[in-house]
Chains A and B, each alone.
Chain A
Amino acid sequence: MIVNLHLIALALYGLATVFVLAPLIGGRRRATPRALTIALPCAGAAFHVVAISRLTPIGLGPALSMLAFCLVLLQLASERLLRGSAVSFFAGPLATGLVGLAILSGLTPGAGLTGAGSGSQSAWFILHVALSALGLSLMALAFIAAALYLLQFRELKSRRFGQIFQLFPPLERLDQLNHLALVAGFPALTMGVLLALGYGAQFSGGLHAAKAQIVWGVFTWVVLGWAVWVRVVRHWAGRRAAVASIAGFGAVLLVYVALKLTQPGAERFL
């Protein structure tokens, strides 16, 4: 049932992505009607939320699924902010890929993974996973806004006036979105990390998480904190801030992949 719901969500997200990318790939002059690019991910998210509510949030598959779900919600929210569907040029394929990976990784906990225990324990754990997923997807959104910014910047600087010029939002709006995503993502991720630490102290009698998880969690928190610091305290904006966001997100992703490759158990998050 969970897998079937995920498959339906995958199909709807995939279809929305095809429609959104069609003007860029096929050179069609008119963008896909917004009703379609919003209705399809909305329908996908409806199936997805039902699937997530039946999911045990342990392991790689469920984490990727939650990440994809948060990303789709943020995509829909930012499209309202930007009054255009440009975020879905990146968020659409990313969310579709994450759901696909989640299905391939397995959506039920593996033999080596344990449950979250009592009611208060599991609520604590679910909150940790949800806030961490939200923080990470906001970081991904900041990366997407930064990538769109750099592409539009290049288009405007080189006076090309092609599909990117037509379809992508204005530079300042993308810069605002990047700023907003970083500023909102940092507290969410901080809470996620604190909840993980608190969970260890409260229920496990100390921090028993795998070293890789701690290394990656702290590294991600530091990178996001740095990105917020340069934007808010050092007043970086525009192209420099976009490059910083992309570099930060790239580093977080690379470190995760590196750690994942060195860790046993494909079904574990880390």
Chain B
Amino acid sequence: MVGVNHRTAPLDVRERFTHGAHEVPAALAKVLAAGASGGVLLSTCNRTEFYLVADDEPALDAVWALLGERLATKPADGAREYGYIARDRDAVRHLYRVSSGLDSMILGESQIQGQVREAWEISRPQAGPVLHRLFQSALHVGSRVRTETGLGMGTASVASAAIQVAGKIFGDLAGRSALILGAGDMAELAATCLSDEGVQITLVANRTYERARAIAERLGGKAVSLEEAWPHFATTDIALCSTAAPHAVVTWERVGAVIGGGARRGKPLCILDLGVPRDVDPAIAQIENVFLYDIDDLQTVAAQATARRRDEVPAAERIVEEETDLFWAWYGGLGVVPTIKEWRQQMDTLRATELDRALRQLSHLSPEDRMQIEQFSQSLLNKLLHQPTIALKQAAEEGHGYGLLEALRRLFGMEPPA
């Protein structure tokens, strides 16, 4: 496995390495042409990783070249400067940690599971049987970790913490109404999260009308100016504020009477203030049914979830290790029978060649004696090969066969398996 992720490369570099679904087949074809027999490309906003069945260098060089082409400025070491490599068992463990969310920027996030599935499906025609099995098992490991541990519990980002807090007031968020103040990236992200939960974005208010209209059109709401938004505090369930104003815009003077008046009939109002500096006057929280949360509160909720998830890491790592053993046992056993067969054949050919040469020099021997010598050579070969064969099979059953097979192939000059 060779790749880059959020720990090794900054965002602007990761953005350049990101491959869209339509780019994956061509990228993999280039790497396969360099000698890999199978490949899967996992490309998300936080990582671009090539999982390959290959001998080391030519395929790796092809990957670095492929990624290097995308860099705007070329560092001395090219794309290698941002990357990492994991081989054999470490590569399996790495993928299992990725699919479990153990390697994610937000520990335990579940989106990666879908991204691993998508990567596998897109790369399927070029994956080959080993990677096919590896990715299937990675999805299984991801599911196991999420069901058997609490790694995925709670919410670990500010946007999802906002959803959790609103959910603790209203229960089901579907059908609730929300007004959005501000039209920056943060407001848009949080509004999208609310919309995904079924919340109706009724209004987007912003100083710049055009920007508000763009978000409102996308989320199905109406764009208004900030001044037009205040009366709507009488009816909305959720108010999400994330403006770039240098002072509070939602003040007691503007909305105190609207919220505290009889129009709401005691209906709760959840105000999520994501602005820095804060957009909402803290005095508004004194109104009976107003629940006001600022960015610090939401970060506290997110941090608690992360802390709870950290407690679950050892249990998740145990599952990853257990499943890595299982995969490695399968992989180790995969090549043992054909390799032993090939090795024994090679040894037998050698024996036959040497026997033939020796018997040519011993032409005075009777046919019975020649037969005796041939039997002796056969028996000697069998005795010599017996213990290594047993050891190889046993190692394969225990999941350590791959290293021994590689050693055997190198020592006896055998070709790598197709």
- Give the B-binding residues of A (Cβ under 8 A): 29-30, 152, 156-157, 159, 161, 165-166, 169-173, 235-240
Contacts and interface: CB of A to CB of B under 8 A. Distances in A.
B289 A161 contact: no
A152 B297 CA distance: 16
A170 B268 contact: no
B270 to A, nearest CB: 9
A159 B168 contact: no
Given A152-B168, A169-B171, A170-B169, A159 B293 contact: yes
A157 to B, nearest CB: 7
Contacts, number: 48
The 4 closest A-B pairs by CB, nearest first: A170-B171, A173-B171, A172-B171, A159-B297
B297 A161 contact: yes
Contacts of B300: 159, 161
Given A159-B297, A161-B297, A170 B266 contact: no
Contact of B266 (A29, A30, A169, A240): A240
A169 B171 CA distance: 8
Nearest to B293: A159
26 contacts: A29-B150, A29-B308, A29-B311, A30-B150, A156-B165, A156-B169, A156-B291, A157-B285, A159-B293, A159-B300, A169-B171, A170-B170, A170-B171, A171-B168, A171-B170, A171-B268, A172-B169, A172-B170, A172-B171, A173-B171, A236-B266, A237-B266, A238-B266, A238-B268, A239-B266, A240-B266
Contacts of A166: 154
A177 to B, nearest CB: 11
A171 B301 CA distance: 18
Interface string B342-364: 00000000000000000000000
B288 A239 contact: yes
B265 interface: yes
Nearest to A169: B171
A152 B165 CA distance: 12
A175 to B, nearest CB: 9
A171 B171 CA distance: 7
Given A156-B291, A172-B268, 18 more contacts: A29-B311, A152-B168, A156-B169, A157-B285, A161-B297, A161-B300, A161-B304, A165-B168, A170-B168, A170-B170, A171-B168, A171-B268, A172-B170, A173-B171, A237-B265, A237-B266, A238-B266, A239-B289
Contacts of B289: 238-239
Contacts of A157: 285, 291
Contacts of B403: none
A235 B170 CA distance: 18
Contacts of A170: 167-171
A152 B308 CA distance: 21
Contacts of A161: 297, 300-301, 304
A240 B289 CA distance: 11
A171 B270 CA distance: 12
Contacts of A235: 265
Most-contacted residue by chain B among A157, A159, A165, A239 (CB, 10 A): A159
A157 B266 CA distance: 15
A238 B168 CA distance: 14
Interface in B276-291: 285, 288-289, 291
A235 B266 CA distance: 10
Interface string B234-269: 000000000000000000000000000000011010
A235 B264 CA distance: 12
Nearest to B292: A159
Contacts of B265: 235, 237
A266 B301 CA distance: 51
Contacts of B301: 161
